Amino acid sequence: MECKKDDNEVYVPFSFIHKYFEVYGKMSDVDDSKFIWLHSNP
């Protein structure tokens, strides 16, 4: 899987995470540079 790396941080694509965890997200309607994400809480 391709991912981005910045110094010691690794960024995994949201589409990959979404498949394995109950997380959902979308870009903010107010500020397009912000990503809003939610998760189910058992």
Q: For the chain, give me the number of helices (H) and strands (E)? A: 1, 4
Strand partners, 6: 9
Q: What is the per-residue pLDDT for 9?
A: 95
pTM beyond 0.75: the answer is: no
Task: Measure the CA–CA gap between 2 and 10, rounded to whole angstroms.
Answer: 10
Predicted local distance difference test score (pLDDT) of residue 15: 85
- Which pLDDT score is estimated for 42? 62
pLDDT digits (tens, 9 = 90+) for 1-42: 888 999 999 998 888 888 888 888 899 999 989 999 888 766
Amino acid 17: pLDDT:
86
Per-residue pLDDT at 22:
84
Alpha helices by DSSP H, the chain: 14-20
